[in-house]
Chains A and B, each alone.
Chain A
Amino acid sequence: MSSDVILVIVVGTALAFDFTNGFHDTANVVATSISTGAARPSVAIGIASLLNFAGAFISISVAATVAKDVVNADVVTPTVVFAGLIGAIAWNLITWSVGLPSSSSHALIGGVVGSAVAASGLDAVLADGLVGKVLIPALIAPILAFLVAGLAIGLVYRIVGRQRPGVVTRGFRFGQLISGGLLALAHGTNDAQKTMGVITLALVANGTLAAEANPPLWVIVSAATAIALGTYSGGWRIIRTTGTRIIKMDAAQGFSAQGAGAAVILASTHFGFPLSTTHVINGGVMGAGAGKRVSAVRWGVAGNIVVAWLLTLPAAAAIGALAYGLTRIFGTGALGPVLVTLMSLSLIVAIFARRSRAGAPVAVH
């Protein structure tokens, strides 16, 4: 009975994380389309939400990686997964409140690894999977997106550079409807699967699913719905960082950045790599800027984002470990997760109240 209560809390927390993931990453998906004038904010966010939902259904490779290749499922309990999720949500909200586009994915994996280590020591971590499927792709993906976008925009300017700017701008704005849609689809498929993987891990840990089982349909549908709702709720504060503060983009750069991001995320998803979509999209944006003019990129802002990236895994791991420790103070039953959930909700309310007092715009209509 107690373990079922914990499982329900874990599923609820995982879906809350998925919501915050969509909320946190809206900017990454739509910022370039909005900043180049390719789409109105409400339209861009609406389309992104629908395609995030659809994207969650096109693959389960990443979910399998998160569920089976990062931590040892034999030593993971639903409480470990719960604490990891708390670490990820807390870090997402902290970085969102200060306007930094850090990685929701690394927060999730860091949180789960931190809580697993707190519960069972370093043996809980599957080092091969963590390094080979998470850390190395995490390093390569944003650089790859940077190179793809930089190379693409260089070729674009060679092809259309002497044509009338009006036609070219209108053409690439139209193209951004496709590239932006693909990017939203890519985001949905990679990021929603991480939540599916975590819920699957909890179901396996609880004995509800067999160890090699794939995510059940209800898990896929609920994860897709949560990320789509989160995306629709949107994060305006970070849109400013991604869309205009890194570089001032034209439509061709926006198309190249979005195309590079979508290509890298979709290819990685196909092979089961749980990427940071934030890293990849920002890598594409910087590549598209540098491909036109290296000095066009505001490297100071980009540097701040890199710092947030570097902090994410260890910070989320530390919060995950702390959440596990807090939970265990109240024993192995459901009381710990219930109390930690209440504390987390209080933290969320406090952050939103602080944001409201600061007068930051939140809602999109």
Chain B
Amino acid sequence: MAVIVETENLLRTIVASLVAGVGVTVIFSVAIWGAARFADLNRDDRHLAAGAAATLAGLALAATLIAVAFGIVVMTRK
């Protein structure tokens, strides 16, 4: 029984690690992509597209920070 419980917790650990580790990295990469596109588009005077890229970067950065905060809150709630 104890082994079954540990297996379940191990699987949860694996899933949580994959979702958090890959998910947060990908979302942050989107933020950087947005920032890089903003710089390029702004330089080309395409201000509307640059604004959209900046918005995407800001949202992705906010999502990254929220995900990190959520992870810490989950840790402290047990």
Contact = CB atoms under 8 A, between A and B. Distances in A.
Contacts of A156: 25-26, 29
Contacts of A262: 21
B10 A136 contact: yes
A279 B32 CA distance: 29
Contacts of B40: 163-164
Given A151-B22, A155-B29, A185 B72 contact: yes
Interface string A104-143: 0000000000000000000000001100110011001000
A263 to B, nearest CB: 3
Interface in B24-55: 24-26, 28-33, 35-37, 39-40
Interface residues on B, range: 35 or more
A264 B25 CA distance: 13
Contacts of A159: 26, 29-30, 32-33
B62 interface: no
Contacts of A182: 68, 71
Contacts of A167: 32, 35-36, 39
Interface in A136-193: 136-137, 140, 144-145, 147-149, 151-153, 155-156, 159-160, 163-164, 167-168, 171-172, 175, 178, 182, 185, 189
Interface residues of A, number: 49
Given A58-B75, A189-B75, A144 B17 contact: yes
B78 A59 contact: yes
A263 B10 CA distance: 14
A87 interface: no
Contact of B21 (A61, A129, A160, A259): A259
Q: Please indicate which of the listed interface residues B12, B30, B33, B74 has the most CB atoms of chain A within 10 Å of its own CB.
A: B33
Contacts of A160: 29, 32-33, 36
Contacts of A132: 2-3, 6
Contacts of B65: 178
B73 to A, nearest CB: 10
A149 B22 CA distance: 7
Contact of A259 (B25, B39, B75): B25
A255 interface: yes
Query: Interface centre among B3, B29, B30, B65, by most A CB within 10 Å?
Result: B29
B66 interface: no
Contact of A267 (B3, B6, B16, B31): B16
A269 interface: yes
Contacts of A58: 72, 75-76
Contacts of B76: 58-59
Q: For A61, A151, A256, A263, which residue has the most chain B Cβ atoms within 10 angstroms?
A: A263
Given A58-B72, A59-B78, A273 B32 contact: no
Contacts of A11: none
Nearest to A167: B36
A61 B6 CA distance: 14
Contact of A148 (B18, B29, B71): B18
Given A160-B32, A160-B36, A271-B12, A148 B72 contact: no
Most B-side CB within 10 Å, residue of A128, A151, A266 = A266
27 contacts: A59-B78, A128-B2, A129-B2, A140-B14, A144-B14, A144-B18, A152-B22, A155-B22, A155-B29, A159-B29, A160-B36, A163-B36, A164-B36, A167-B32, A175-B64, A178-B64, A255-B25, A255-B28, A263-B17, A263-B18, A263-B71, A264-B21, A266-B71, A267-B16, A270-B74, A273-B9, A273-B13
Interface of A: 58-59, 61, 128-129, 132-133, 136-137, 140, 144-145, 147-149, 151-153, 155-156, 159-160, 163-164, 167-168, 171-172, 175, 178, 182, 185, 189, 252, 255-256, 259-260, 262-264, 266-273
Given A58-B72, A132-B6, 5 more contacts: A155-B29, A164-B40, A168-B32, A263-B18, A270-B78
